[in-house]
Amino acid sequence: MAKITRLSGCSDWIDLEFVERERTPPRVMKLGIRLHLAGLSLSNTISELEKSGVQRSRKAVHDWVQKAGLQPTDGESPNQIAVDETVIRINDEQYWLYAAVDPATNHLLHVRLFSTYTTALTQVFLRELREKHDVEGSLFLVDGASHLQTALDRAGLRFQYERHGNRNSAERVFREVKRRTSSFSNCFSHVEPATAETWLQAFAVWHNSTN
């Protein structure tokens, strides 16, 4: 029942401005994007679309997600922000998914995918987060990773080491990402890193819409 509930819901958060001469009805495109991000494989998604009398390829659904350009909304002013990173595999190579989460809402504020983790890249992530949200008065919750703490210190942002508590909100999001990608063994195959990052950003929008 829980899985069915997560697959249901509205699709108002999906903007189809990218559509030009798409022959698929907008409501079906939105359904396909939502079902795939919510947990269905591309094959199972097109099977569901067929129930609506629409036959499309796996590539078509994949392209809808990519072209929609979904990004978490800007303009939040969180009291606390949990920042963390986790490993995502792309074609047998390791990449690091950075995420900033508002523990109060469980919303993903910003996600980026990097080929490694360094203080400099963490500073890039924080700069982009600052451009999107009002975080000057936020308390950042981090683990013992030195690159996170150093980057926050250099940026003049307040942070606090927290092993559990509200910082676990980031861990919960990462578990959801890995649950979602378990259908392809937590590995994006035969795609470019930019394609994987676009999917992860679209996933963040879906995740926020259900929380």
> Exposed, middle or buried by CB within 10 Å (0-12, 13-18, 19+), for 150?
middle
Quick: pLDDT tens for 185-211: 445 777 888 988 998 999 899 889 888
Q: What is the per-residue pLDDT for 1?
A: 33
Q: Annotate 93-102 with b (16+ C-beta within 10 A) or e (fewer).
A: eebbbbbbbb
Q: Residue 48 burial by CB count (10 A; 0-12/13-18/19+): exposed, middle or buried?
A: middle
Global confidence as pTM: 0.84
Question: Mean of the pLDDT values across residues 58-82?
Answer: 91
At 20 the pLDDT is: 66
Question: What does the pLDDT look like over 5-31, one tens digit per residue?
Answer: 444 456 677 877 776 666 788 888 889
- Residues 170-185: pLDDT tens digits? 787 777 777 766 554 4
What pLDDT, on the 0 to 100 scale, is given for residue 134?
97
Q: Which two structure tokens, joined as six digits, stand for 108?
A: 């993903």
What's the fold here for domain 80-191? Nucleotidyltransferase; domain 5 (3.30.420)
Q: Where are the domains of the chain?
A: 2-68, 80-191
Inter-helix orientation angle 26-38/58-68, to 10°: 90
Residue 120: pLDDT above 90?
A: yes
